[in-house]
């Protein structure tokens, strides 16, 4: 019985990812098809400090762009706090470049929740910007940050 429970627990860890609802915040060059977050089992994702989280965004380009840049903000009420993503240049790290109109791509990024993050519920606003600083895509999701 105990062994069975352990096997179940392992399976639960292996498949711990959730498809989150797409809250589009101004995609200009693409349409978001789906967003998956690893290490999250339900929305809002509970994010532990020091732990890694991977986001997978499946999107289809409506326009061809040559560059892609990572921009992340944490929203606390009306305050938008920039959260630098490393590297800022997403080309050939998170997505191939150029991104061609009509094609579907997968954007993947792993980030570690910093120890200095406040233990609060925040709204993450994730933007991928093109060479003209327009959003290729943008999505927002609530996160519960905890120790
Ligand atoms: C993206 O989503 C589409 C539509 O759901 C699916 O057909 C395709 O296989 C996905 N592509 C990737 C790279 O996951």
- Region 61-80: what's the mean pLDDT? 94
Evaluate the CA torsion angle 19, 20, 23, 24 in order and state its sign: negative
- The Å distance, Cα 94 to ligand 1 centre, comes to 16
* 3-class DSSP assignment, residue 4: helix
- The Å distance, Cα 55 to ligand 1 centre, comes to 15
Are 128 and 91 a contacting pair, CB within 8 Å?
Answer: no
pLDDT tens digits, residue range 80-127?
A: 889 888 899 999 999 999 999 999 999 999 989 989 888 999 999 999
Atom of ligand 1 nearest to the CA of 58: 1
Measured between alpha carbons, how far is 118 from 116 in angstroms, rounded to an integer? 6
Domain ranges of the chain: 17-146
Mutate to test the pocket of ligand 1, among 22, 31, 33, 137 (most ligand atoms within 8 A of CB): 33
Mutate to test the pocket of ligand 1, among 58, 59, 95 (most ligand atoms within 8 A of CB): 58
pLDDT tens digits, residue range 16-30?
A: 889 999 999 999 999
Atom of ligand 1 nearest to the CA of 106: 13
pLDDT tens digits, residue range 3-60?
A: 655 555 555 555 588 999 999 999 999 999 999 999 998 899 999 999 999 999 999 9
Task: For domain 17-146, give its CATH number from 1.10.260.40, 2.60.40.770, 3.30.70.3340, 2.60.40.1250.
Answer: 2.60.40.770
Residue 1: pLDDT above 80? no
Helix/strand/coil (H, E, C) string of 75-131?
Answer: EECCEEEECCCCCCECECCCECCCECCCCEEEEEEEEECCCCCCCCEEEEEEEEECC
* 3-class DSSP assignment, residue 27: coil
**Amino acid 136: pLDDT:** 98
**Amino acid 16: pLDDT:** 80
Residue 2: pLDDT above 60? no
Measured between alpha carbons, how far is 99 from 73 in angstroms, rounded to an integer? 23
Residue 90 CA to its chain's centroid (Å): 13
Task: Count the alpha carbons within 13 Å of 15 in the hemisphere toward its beta carbon.
Answer: 5
């Amino acid at each position: 019985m105990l062994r069975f429970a352990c096997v179940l627990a392992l399976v639960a860890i292996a498949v711990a990812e959730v498809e989150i609802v797409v809250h589009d915040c101004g995609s200009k060059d693409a349409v978001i098809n789906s967003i998956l977050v690893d290490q999250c089992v339900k929305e809002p994702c509970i994010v532990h400090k020091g732990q890694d989280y991977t986001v997978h965004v499946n999107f289809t380009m409506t326009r061809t762009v040559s560059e892609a840049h990572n921009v992340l903000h944490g929203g606390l009420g009306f305050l938008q706090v920039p959260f630098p993503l490393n590297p800022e240049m997403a080309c050939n790290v998170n997505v191939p470049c150029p991104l061609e109109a009509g094609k579907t791509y997968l954007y993947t990024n792993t980030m570690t929740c910093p120890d200095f993050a406040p233990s609060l519920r925040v709204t993450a606003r994730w933007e991928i910007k093109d060479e003209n600083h327009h959003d290729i895509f943008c999505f927002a999701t609530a996160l519960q940050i905890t120790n």
